[in-house]
Chains A and B, each alone.
Chain A
Amino acid sequence: MIPELDRTALEDESVEVPPPVAGFIDISERLTGFTAFDLYATGMAQLYHDTTVDQVGREAVGRFIDDLAAAGGDPDRLVDETSREIARAVTHLWYLGVWPALARSVHRALGREKANTAFTAAPEAYPEGLVWRTFHGHPPGAKAPGFGTWADPPPGAPPLARPDCPAHGTGGAT
């Protein structure tokens, strides 16, 4: 049962309900080249937002957001080395599910009081890494594609006319 107040909000089109971590997603779209839809679909947005804030602190994240705005939203135009390193780290996190070790100089500049080591944000983060989607692959040990699918040409590859090679589905019975 939806409380009355919320129902009003839902019915009133003038009230926008922002999705969680919308600002972080907006930045992440620019960093990764994937759409907000793709990024939300990983289920990792909140975790990555929290991981970033936890790793570099609110102040540095704030400066990074300002710097990116000043660069017209284009991460490639980031000049400040700390902000650029944060851009690299957040992108690395999205692509692999792994928060990386930061450049030693940036680690020192941020005065971080934690070990500067790489770690996987959560076991679930690994199969959600965007890198697998860049080449139509699947993460080893997760999201198995099915028996024999590896015999099919991947997207962008020519089929092979080799009648003696069993394709999947034949059970290797050729």
Chain B
Amino acid sequence: MNSPSLAGRRRYDVIVVGAGMAGSLVAKRLGDQGWRVLVLEAGTGTLDTWPGHLDALNTFASAVAKVPNSPYRPNAVAPSPDVLHVGGLPGGGYRASGYLVQRGALPYNSDYLRAAGGTGLHWLGLTPRMHPDDFAVRSRYGYGRDWPIGYDDLEPHYRAAERELGVAGDAAEQADAIGLPFPEGYVYPMREIPRSYLDNVLAARLDGHAVQEKPGSPHTTLRVVTTPHARNSTPHEDYDGGRGYRPVGAAGLPNYGERCVGNASCTPICPAQAKYTPLKTQAAWSRDVTLVTRAVVSRVLTTSNGRARGVEYQEYDDPAAPASVTRTAEADVVVLAAHAIENAKLLLVSRLATRSDQVGRNLMDHPVLLTWGLMNHPVGPFRGPGSTSGLEGFRTGAGRRTRAPFRIVIANWGWSWPTGSPGADVARLLGMGGDPAAPRGRGLFGAALRDELGRGVSRQFALQFEMEQEAESRNRVTIDPLHRDLLGNPRPVVTYDLSDRVKRGMAAAKAVSDQIFGLLEAEDHTAYGPGPFAPGHFRYEGRDFVYQGAGHGAGTHVMGASRETSVVDPWQRCWDHPGLYAVGCGSMPSVGTANPSLTMAALALRSSERIHRELSELRRPLTVRTAPVPEGRP
């Protein structure tokens, strides 16, 4: 492992660019089949040891703003975008600093992480499947793009991904409440994560009640539904035909982390590692997989006829110093698995897959509308996983013809996302705002402060409306020679906006939220306006809204049925380049409303099968037949 001089000399069967979730799964599958796999990771690999993990926990504890990237050390040579790089302006609008260059009307307000493990280190761990309708939004609902494959094509791979990630869930409930098809008798590897007390309060007050998006529109019946998680729960004894399931614990510490203990910090870091991260898959890689970290792939190399033949990469020692050595590595298959935005950047830099003019386009996320309030009694925020249930009734249906559909996540982290609770509550009650130039209030002290915080924070809850964003060619990643990072590689230039369809979805979501708050008899504290903490502020039909990014970047090397209109084929192979795959959420033509990691994992496993076949065909022993000797010749 990590022997670059050796890596530089050897020829591999497969090079995987990026040691995140998709890349780690592809490397696992192909390594298990005996293929020699080189994984090149731009970031560092300090988190796969227990001391490295403890260091990340300390960095997290020390961070004043506990954002998704806060446990992970900044890397000047392989920089990551951070949500703290985007800020709002007092009168509306935003400014962006840091790695991503932003040129859109609205900010792409999401991050990712360049390190071994990737963004899968700080994901929330929710693993709902996409709805069958999500694969055919153009033909069924008249917007966006259709997938060239459907739910049925992906279903066995969903099951494979649920095994690899170790998913806890209730398949019968998913089928009944959402209409997701499962094979007869299927159970998840582990039983569902127990619902939070807050979920149960919401279920008691909401289940069976109907709401309307606006007067005259159809009624939608509310039901609180447990969310599948890649988080260790109780193994299901019926799994795998009664063979059961053994939870995978922490990487680097045996017999630890085999059960979620409720740290309430799934994002940005699970101290127990009860949540799946790609480090668990990496720990199970065969010896045929070689990981080289601190290796920034700068270009994909092709032969004269366009076939992938390897990559050029820059290897560095010190993440703070722009000194690197350029190397090349060769293989029969190159798999780009470096995140939607990085994959697009690499294709653009390498001037590959240009035929359809779709590389970098169709950038999507799940823009999130938050609403928040106080219940009339304590509900136990900041206990357990960040979310254990949701309301799934708005994920598809007739309303989808006119506005974006959405999934409602019941957030168990108080107002931490919308307002920065409880730190912001302490500061507010002390009379201190975020701006040191602003005049201070008098402030509360002593028992009055303690009581007020207890009364307030204990009753906090929030809803997250995760909107589907459709593929639009104007939302895109480009490169510009004027904007480069320390190693001289182009930085991604992002142009991003929300369509009216998404904005209409948010207006509908707010109307639904108002009715839910009414049924809950909750005090609504939701307030949207411009300001330093609201870069996602916009006005729509005379009303203010603020959206957040979900970190679900997708669409940038879009999959399709035709080489004229898409970048990759249904196997995530670049149409224009045999042997070159681009895997990850970048391939998704639509994102539905489900958190995308499970679907990305399923797609990666499906592509692994195709790569295995491709390599097997390339390596098939050549049978030399002697030509029959014609009669009468010597």
**Which residues of A are interface residues toward B (Cβ below 8 A)?**
30-34, 75-76, 81, 84-85, 87-88, 91-92, 95-96, 98, 100-104, 107, 116, 118-120, 122-127, 130-132, 134-142, 144-158, 160, 162, 165-168, 171-173
Contacts and interface: CB of A to CB of B under 8 A. Distances in A.
B443 A88 contact: yes
A32 B450 contact: yes
A172 B378 contact: no
B200 interface: yes
Nearest to B422: A131
Contacts of A103: 432, 436, 439-440
B425 to A, nearest CB: 8
B443 A157 contact: no
A134 B454 contact: yes
B75 interface: no
22 contacts: A33-B450, A75-B446, A76-B442, A91-B445, A92-B426, A101-B436, A104-B437, A123-B62, A131-B423, A132-B422, A134-B451, A135-B378, A146-B262, A150-B384, A150-B385, A151-B195, A151-B200, A152-B197, A154-B458, A157-B377, A157-B379, A172-B194
A93 B87 CA distance: 26
Contact of B388 (A138, A150, A171): A150
A173 B64 contact: no
3 A-B pairs with least C-beta separation:
A150-B384, A141-B265, A154-B380
B201 A160 contact: yes
Given A135-B458, A154-B197, A92 B430 contact: yes
Contacts, number: 219
Contacts of A123: 57-59, 61-62
A137 B382 contact: yes
B431 interface: yes
Given A96-B426, A140-B265, A146-B262, A153 B447 contact: no
Contact of A168 (B194, B446, B453, B458): B194
A46 B484 CA distance: 47
B445 A151 contact: no
Secondary structure dominating the interface of B? loop
Nearest to B421: A131
Nearest to B269: A141
Nearest to A172: B191
A168 B383 CA distance: 13
Nearest to B453: A134
B232 to A, nearest CB: 9
B269 A96 contact: no
B576 interface: no
Contact of B446 (A31, A84, A144, A157): A31
Contacts of B204: 160, 162
Given A98-B64, A150-B384, A157-B380, A32 B446 contact: yes
Given A120-B64, A138-B383, A140-B263, A33 B446 contact: yes
Interface residues of B, number: 71
Interface of B: 57-64, 66, 191-197, 200-201, 203-204, 233-234, 259-265, 269, 271-272, 377-385, 388, 412-413, 422-423, 425-427, 430-432, 436-437, 439-440, 442-451, 453-454, 456-458
A85 B430 CA distance: 9
Nearest to B380: A154
B265 to A, nearest CB: 4
Contacts of A95: 426, 449, 453
Nearest to A98: B64
Contacts of B446: 30-33, 75-76
Contacts of A76: 442, 444-446, 448
Nearest to A120: B62
A103 B438 CA distance: 7
Given A151-B194, A151-B195, 4 more contacts: A103-B440, A135-B422, A136-B378, A157-B378
Nearest to B192: A172
Contacts of B412: 150
A167 to B, nearest CB: 7
B436 A102 contact: yes
A34 to B, nearest CB: 7
Contacts of A140: 66, 263-265, 382, 413
Nearest to B431: A88
A145 B262 contact: yes
Nearest to A84: B443
Nearest to B234: A171
Given A123-B62, A126-B62, A147 B260 contact: yes
Contacts of B448: 33, 76
A118 B64 contact: yes
Nearest to A161: B204
A50 to B, nearest CB: 17
B61 A145 contact: no
